[in-house]
Every structure is written in structure tokens, then in C-alpha cells.
Amino acid sequence: MIVVTTPTGNIGSRLLEILLNGAEPDARAGMVPTAALGARPVAEPVRVIARRPEALPEAVRERVEVVPGSHGDPDVVAKAFAGADAVFWLAPPTPDAASLESAYLDFTRPACTAIREQGVRHVVTVSALGRGTPAAGRAGLVTATLAMDDLIADTGVAMRALVLPGFMENMLRQVAAIRDQGVFFSMASPDLRSPTCATRDIAAAAVGLLRERTWTGQGSVAVLGPQDLSCPEMAEIMSDVLGRPVRYQQVSAAAQYESLTGFGWSATMAAGMVDMMTAKNEGLDNAEPRTPRSSTPTSFRQWCEDTLRPAVLA
């Protein structure tokens, strides 16, 4: 029995597709890791935890057991983890949270109790790059994410943290600015080249770990996309794919903070995001060595063709 949290999210929904069908319906670049898994549906039962079961596609609801509720709720996780062998764990983004501690650690504590009490054997977490780097302890959201991994590791369960750079999907939050003003914004230093990955590649990596549970102990698996890119290089690719000029504009920490709080982020979470971006400019995402395994297939150009262009043209 595999338990999947956030089945309606970016990663969770794609993970379920691959788990249940062996491939995403329209996966192109995503087919590479999926094909490497044999493109077979998983043989064991799948259970999902969903606050809004009605948001799951009918075809998914017919094939999984649904435990309704939040995976931050002790009763819900106790029920969902009963008889479970493996869990896919993702702490949901909660921009209005009162503190980083409550968003990541308090949210995850009930799951740690349930992992212990229900005898879960394997956990795959959604985590972040940066462990062991000088900025890891002052990287806001990432520091909290790494502490969440430590909390789960303390249960003694076999664990793999998927250590991730910024997602390509983050660019979808800027579709209006890209379409209407031909610009996108970030705090990232323009001359910094960093990895970026597509959520379908994260999902494929998670499925690989959940299906083939020969691994023991605790460790991490990096998902880095095929190449490091700077923001101006991303703008060049977007311009090419969209057939119209897109430029990059760096914003200050103060402007980033103001923009996030304007969108309803709590002061603490906005500060956590600014600290994370500052740490990324200091090399948080650049220490993980690239290997054939960590260089996942979906390129930024491919992602722009498959996902960004339809979103901008819509």
C-alpha cells in the first residue's frame, strides 16, 4: 500500500498519473523517466489523502482509496497510514502561516507519530537543495524544509528526500506580466546560473522510489533538470518559444517582500521567501553535483513549449 499526500497538487497529481497509468497522458519529455520504469501501472493499492476529494479526476477516484481531510490532522494520518508500506510526503505551501515552524514542522509532527505507530517503512519527501552549504541555516523556507526532513528521519523510517531547485512551474505565476509587459521578475542575481526542474520529472523520480523500495537508510535524490540557466538565459528561451521579446528584471529584497505581503503572505512567510532567495544568490542551489541520474530530462525550452506557451496564449 502506497499513500500519496497532495494528490491534487502539481507534483501529486502527476505522480498519481504515472503510478496508476505507467505514464502521463500527454507526457513528451516526461516519457523518458516513465519509460525507464517500464511504463507499467503500479501493482499494489494506492491510498490518497485529500481535503477536496471532489477535485480528484473521476478516473483517479475510481482506482484509489480516498481518506478525506488534511494530512496535517492527527486522526487523518493515523487512518491513512494504517497498513501503509510507503508514503509520499509533501508539506503544502501555506503562505499565510503564522511561522515557518507551524508551516513545516507542526504540520508534519502528526505524520511522524503515525509513521512510528503504524509502522510505515519507506517515506519519500519533497525537499530542497542546500543541505551542508554555508547558507543552509539562514535560508528561510528551505531551512524549515530541511528541519522537516530531520523530523521525519528521527522516526527511523527509511527515507529519501527529493532535493529540488526552483520549479519551472513557478513561472506560471508570472504569465500575466510575461504576456502583457514582456517581462518576468525575481530576486535572482542575473549572472547566477542555477538548476531548475519540471514537476513531471519530480513526480517520475518519486514514482521510481515508491515502486522499487529496495533502498534502506536515509538520504537524498536530486532532481536538477538537464542544465543550469541564468534568468536572462531563461528570458531568451521564452522569447524564442513565444515569438515575442521577454526580458528579465531583478527586484530588490524589499520589493519582493512588499509584493508577497500584497498577495496575502504573512510577514514571516514573506521574510522566509526573501531569506531563501538571498541564500540562493549565495549558492544554495549550486553545490549538488550533476550526475546522469540527477540531470532529469525536461528542458526549460521543452517545458516552455508544452506548458508556458499554451498558458500565455490562453
Q: How far is the CB of 286 from ligand NAP (least distance, A)?
A: 15
Rounded Cα distance, 207 and 227, in Å? 22
With contacts defined by CB under 6 A, name the span among 88-96, 208-216, 234-242, 293-301 that binds ligand NAP: 88-96
Q: How far is the CB of 231 from ligand NAP (least distance, A)?
A: 14
Q: Which residue is nearest to ligand NAP (CB)?
A: 9
Selected from 88, 167, 300, 303, the binder of ligand NAP by CB under 6 A is 167
Report the first-to-last Cα separation within the chain, whole angstroms. Answer: 39
Rounded Cα distance, 196 and 166, in Å? 5
With contacts defined by CB under 6 A, name the span among 29-37, 67-75, 208-216, 278-286 that binds ligand NAP: 67-75
Phi (first) and psi of residue 244, to 5 degrees: -155, 150
**Residues 90-109 close enough to bind ligand NAP by CB under 6 A:** 90-94
- If one asks whether residue 170 binds ligand NAP (CB under 6 A), the answer comes out as yes
> For residue 216, what are the CA distances in angstroms to 150, 209, 254?
16, 11, 44
With contacts defined by CB under 6 A, name the span among 64-72, 151-159, 178-186, 299-307 that binds ligand NAP: 64-72
Nearer Cβ to ligand NAP, position 18 or 119? 18
- If one asks whether residue 181 binds ligand NAP (CB under 6 A), the answer comes out as no
* C-alpha cell of residue 56: 480528484
Query: For the stretch 183-222, what's the b/e string if a residue is b when 16 or more beta carbons lie within 10 angstroms of its beta carbon?
Result: ebbbbbeeebebbbbbbbbbbbbbbbbbbeeeeeebebbb
Selected from 45, 70, 113, 311, the binder of ligand NAP by CB under 6 A is 70
- Could you tell me if 285 and 165 are in contact, meaning their C-beta atoms sit under 8 angstroms apart? yes
Q: How far is the CB of 90 from ligand NAP (least distance, A)?
A: 5
Count other C-beta atoms under 10 Å from residue 18's C-beta. Answer: 26
The footprint of ligand NAP (CB under 6 A) covers: 6, 8-12, 51-52, 55, 70-72, 90-94, 126, 128, 141, 145, 164, 166-167, 170, 199
